[in-house]
């Protein structure tokens, strides 16, 4: 049975864990010819390489650095002959820290780190992949967030960075048309290994560390009462990469948040 992504070649950043790993697994199920997984987590990439053998290549790298993206695109072309979809997914979280809890120095340091990963990394991927995606008339898919539209999805730095992602995907959709489609998926609260920033001493803290407590908390934030898993979002990345199913879709953010936007004002 044919898959939605038969013969396509993809790059996924932040691929070792969480939503990135779920996207890799789903892309493999949907028939990609090859995939380049990018992450700082070398051990996580090794396990992906073991799972998918000759259909995957890995790049241990930091999305803040141009060379990581350049290497990923070169690897896709060298190993699989082309590039059809690039998924910008690597990110860090601020654990809802409000502005009042920063000093001037900590704000600058945390903003430099978080924006470099959550925003600059996405732009560097677009810059590196543009030529190859133009040749294939492919697509660029970003992991945005419910925080791209809702103020309560994180702290001041995370929310503003994810609002920036919405702006850049819309602008890039305009710039890259008509050859490349650019869209995003906006997950809500999800049980992942999304980490905090090194500058705030939260690099070892993860969003879903205490799964039971996190699940109970997240389920109360949306009308569907869902504590979402990474796999709950992966199908949307397939949809947006599919030339058959989303040929006319660009500049769009598809929210996958349990219905946060339709919450009533009063508790329910």
- CA geometry: angle 194, 185, 80, nearest 5 deg: 85
With CA atoms as reference, report the closest residue to 202 among 123, 113, 268: 113
pLDDT recorded at residue 268: 45
Query: For the chain, what is the mean pLDDT?
Result: 95
User: Is 146 within 8 Å of 93 (Cβ atoms)?
Assistant: no
Per-residue tokens: 67 = 């060379």
pLDDT recorded at residue 5: 97
Question: Looking at the domain assignment, is residue 4 inside a domain?
Answer: no
Give the tens place of pLDDT for each residue, 11-22.
999 999 999 999
**Bridge partners, residue 58, by sequence:** 37
Give the tens place of pLDDT for each residue, 100-152.
999 999 999 999 999 999 999 999 999 999 999 999 999 999 999 999 999 99
Other residues' Cβ atoms within 10 Å of the Cβ of residue 185? 25
Distances in Å between the Cα of 160 and the Cα atoms of 55, 151, 180, 242, 256 are: 36, 9, 26, 29, 19
Per-residue tokens: 77 = 């072309």
Q: In terms of pTM, does the model score above 0.85?
A: yes
266 pLDDT exceeds 60?
no
**List 52, 102, 142, 158, catalytic entry:** 158
Q: What percent of the chain has pLDDT over 90?
A: 88
Question: Looking at the domain assignment, is residue 249 inside a domain?
Answer: yes
CATH code assigned at 18: 3.40.50.720
Query: How many structural domains are present in the chain?
Result: 1
Considering only residues 131 and 212, tell me which one the structure prediction assigns the higher pLDDT. 131
Cis peptide before 219 (omega within 30 of 0): no
158 is a catalytic site residue: yes
pLDDT recorded at residue 39: 98
The burial class, CB within 10 Å (0-12 / 13-18 / 19+), for 53 is exposed
Q: Residue 85: in which H helix or E strand, if any?
A: strand 85-88
Average pLDDT over residues 39-49: 96
Residue 80 is part of which domain span?
A: 9-259
């Amino acid at each position: 049975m044919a898959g939605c992504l038969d013969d396509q070649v993809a790059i996924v950043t932040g691929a070792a864990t969480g939503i990135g790993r779920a996207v890799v697994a789903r892309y493999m199920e949907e028939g990609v010819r090859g995939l380049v997984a990018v992450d700082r987590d070398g051990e996580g990439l090794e396990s992906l390489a073991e799972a998918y053998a000759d259909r995957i290549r890995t790049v241990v790298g930091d999305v803040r650095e141009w060379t990581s993206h350049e290497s990923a695109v070169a690897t896709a072309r060298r190993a699989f002959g082309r590039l059809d979809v690039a998924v910008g997914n690597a990110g860090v979280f601020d654990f809802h820290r409000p502005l009042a809890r920063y000093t001037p120095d900590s704000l600058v340091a945390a903003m430099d780190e978080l924006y470099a990963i959550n925003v600059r990394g996405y732009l560097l991927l677009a810059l590196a992949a543009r030529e190859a995606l133009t040749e294939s008339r492919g697509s660029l898919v970003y992991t945005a967030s419910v925080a791209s539209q809702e103020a309560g999805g994180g702290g001041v730095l995370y929310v503003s960075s994810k609002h920036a992602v919405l702006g850049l995907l819309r602008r890039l959709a305009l710039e890259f048309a008509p050859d490349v489609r650019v869209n995003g998926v906006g997950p809500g609260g999800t049980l992942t290994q999304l980490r905090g920033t090194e500058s705030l001493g939260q690099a070892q803290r993860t969003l879903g560390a205490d799964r039971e407590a996190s699940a109970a908390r997240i389920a109360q934030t949306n009308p569907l009462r869902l504590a979402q898993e990474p796999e709950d979002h992966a199908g949307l990345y397939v949809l947006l990469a599919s030339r058959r199913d989303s040929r006319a879709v660009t500049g769009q953010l598809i929210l996958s948040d349990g219905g946060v936007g339709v919450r009533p004002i009063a508790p329910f």
